[in-house]
């Protein structure tokens, strides 16, 4: 065999070897295979977990390792095309080299090659990490994105909830329920949670708080009663059941026992506005009205807190849980009172 043919044979073999190496490097991945976030690995590492510390180090060095792999792939690709030119001539060498480069990623589909790549990755990683120690500035400059510190971004509440639901065990059912409620809080309105008009139990301002009236109030199961004068669209005060426990006179009128302060809130107001209204007024019950100032329901502080935390609050004076069945509207006259306030 002449020296020229021998040299060409060597170059052809070299092309084949380089192509196989390129395929293995293409299949090579330095990912940690982590099941925990960078935050969790950092927390465990600070607690002395050696495995977490190693995984965290590998995660933090992943961008440099990927940059190093890309550099080696580029070098081998250049050598592959150059060797093809020496082996097959300029024209055919460029064509064959280009085809081999295009076909190199196909090695990833071969299970045997992937197994070799995984074994090679475990063997070469310690040496690759040493290389990144002294070449880190160069590798950082060459990388296209920061893989290790890439932030998880969500762009809506629904997307955030989906991420949380796909992370089982992070939150308990109670915590998940509270989170759902708090995220939906800003989107809900007074009309969504108010006690509707048909469920309202009232006391008449002219009634006397005798045994019969007191018995009816206790049977209703509520702790607060709007006091009306004529009809429900004329609410002139609020009667608190707990204030009547020590009632000494059986002839005291509702007007004398009630709190004359009445606070109104529109049914289309959001719950955040309602919560701020409760905090400002130090009042626990609002009368809900529509745009014509007709009574459409009642809103209690407990209703807003329940919507915020996603759990039911049982008042020690309340006996019934659900007072919010949908009611038919029955508009009458407008709410007006000298001691009323709009929220």
311 and 194 assigned to the same domain: yes
Say if 267 falls within a structural domain. Answer: yes
Pairing of strands 224-229, 203-204: parallel
Cα separation, 254 vs 213, whole angstroms: 10
218 and 315 assigned to the same domain: yes
* Residue 252: C-alpha distances to residues 56, 153, 207 (Å): 74, 63, 9
When divided into structural domains, the chain yields a total of 2
Cα separation, 81 vs 210, whole angstroms: 104
334 and 203 assigned to the same domain: yes
Q: What is the pLDDT of residue 247?
A: 67
92 and 202 assigned to the same domain: no
Q: What is the pLDDT of residue 190?
A: 95
Q: What is the pLDDT of residue 175?
A: 82
3-class SS string, 96-141? HHHHHHHHHHHHHHCHHHHHHHHHHHHHHHHHHHHHHHHHHHHHHH
200 and 338 assigned to the same domain: yes
pLDDT < 70 regions, the chain: 1-3, 30-39, 133, 136-155, 168, 246-251, 314-343
Say if 166 falls within a structural domain. Answer: no
Q: What is the pLDDT of residue 285?
A: 92
75 and 201 assigned to the same domain: no
- Residue 103 has which token pair? 């076909």
Say if 149 falls within a structural domain. Answer: no
Q: What is the pLDDT of residue 177?
A: 84
End-to-end CA distance of the chain: 101
248 and 123 assigned to the same domain: no
Q: What is the pLDDT of residue 46?
A: 84
Say if 174 falls within a structural domain. Answer: no
User: Quick count: other Cβ atoms within 10 Å of Cβ 203?
Assistant: 22
From 157, 4, 131, select the one nearest 61 (Cα to Cα).
131
From 303, 236, 312, select the one nearest 267 (Cα to Cα).
303
Buried b (16+ CB within 10 A) or exposed e, 111-150: eebbebbeeebeebeeebbeebeeeeeebeebbeeebbee
Residue 271's CATH number: 3.10.580.10
* Residue 41: C-alpha distances to residues 47, 56, 172 (Å): 10, 6, 21
Q: What is the pLDDT of residue 148?
A: 44
70 Cβ contact partners less than 8 Å away, ≥ 6 residues apart: 142
From 312, 306, 291, 329, select the one nearest 188 (Cα to Cα).
306
Q: Phi and psi dihedrals of 167, rounded to 5?
A: -120, 70
Look at residues 142, 177, 210 and tell me which one is the last residue of a structural domain.
142
Measured CA angle at 328 (ends 322, 333), to 5 deg: 110
Look at residues 84, 112, 142 and tell me which one is the last residue of a structural domain.
142
Say if 235 falls within a structural domain. Answer: yes
Say if 169 falls within a structural domain. Answer: no
Q: Which residue has the tokens 């709190």?
A: 259
106 and 240 assigned to the same domain: no
Look at residues 81, 107, 142 and tell me which one is the last residue of a structural domain.
142
211 and 137 assigned to the same domain: no
> Backbone dihedral region of 136: left (phi > 0), alpha (psi from -120 to 50 degrees) or beta?
alpha
Q: What is the pLDDT of residue 191?
A: 94
252 and 135 assigned to the same domain: no
Query: Which range marks the domain in which residue 38 is found?
Result: 3-142
Q: What is the pLDDT of residue 275?
A: 94
Strand partners, 238: 226, 259
Is 200:214 a contact under the CB 8 Å cutoff?
no
Say if 182 falls within a structural domain. Answer: no
217 and 316 assigned to the same domain: yes
Say if 181 falls within a structural domain. Answer: no
27 and 128 assigned to the same domain: yes
């Amino acid at each position: 065999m002449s020296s020229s043919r021998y040299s060409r044979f060597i170059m052809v073999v070299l092309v084949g070897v380089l192509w196989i190496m390129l395929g293995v490097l293409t299949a090579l991945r330095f990912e940690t295979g982590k099941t925990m976030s960078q935050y969790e690995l950092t927390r465990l590492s600070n607690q002395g977990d050696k495995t977490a510390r190693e995984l965290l180090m590998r995660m933090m060095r992943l961008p440099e390792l990927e940059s190093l792999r890309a550099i080696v792939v580029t070098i081998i690709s250049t050598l592959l095309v150059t060797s093809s030119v020496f082996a097959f001539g300029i024209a055919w060498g460029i064509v064959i080299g280009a085809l081999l480069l295009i076909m190199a990623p196909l090695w990833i589909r071969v299970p045997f090659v992937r197994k070799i790549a995984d074994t090679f990755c475990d063997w070469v990683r310690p040496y690759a990490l040493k290389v990144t120690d002294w070449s880190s500035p160069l590798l950082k400059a060459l990388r296209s994105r920061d893989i290790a510190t890439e932030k998880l971004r969500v762009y809506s509440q629904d997307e955030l909830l989906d991420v949380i639901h796909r992370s089982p065990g992070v939150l308990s059912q109670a915590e998940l329920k509270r989170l759902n409620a708090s995220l939906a809080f800003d989107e809900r309105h007074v009309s969504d949670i108010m006690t509707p008009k048909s469920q309202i139990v009232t006391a008449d301002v002219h009634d006397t708080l005798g045994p019969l009236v007191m018995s009816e109030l206790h049977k209703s199961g509520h702790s607060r009663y709007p006091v009306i004068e004529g009809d429900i669209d004329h609410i002139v005060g609020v009667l608190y059941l707990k204030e009547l426990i020590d009632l000494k006179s059986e002839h005291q009128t509702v007007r004398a026992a009630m709190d004359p302060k009445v606070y109104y809130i529109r049914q289309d107001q959001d719950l955040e506005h309602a919560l701020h209204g409760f905090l400002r007024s130090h009042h626990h019950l609002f009368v809900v009205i529509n745009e014509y100032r007709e009574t459409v329901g009642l809103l209690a502080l407990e209703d807003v807190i329940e919507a915020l935390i996603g759990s039911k609050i049982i008042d020690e004076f309340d006996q019934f849980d659900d007072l919010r069945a949908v009611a038919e509207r029955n508009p009458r006259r407008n709410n007006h009172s000298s001691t009323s306030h709009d929220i």
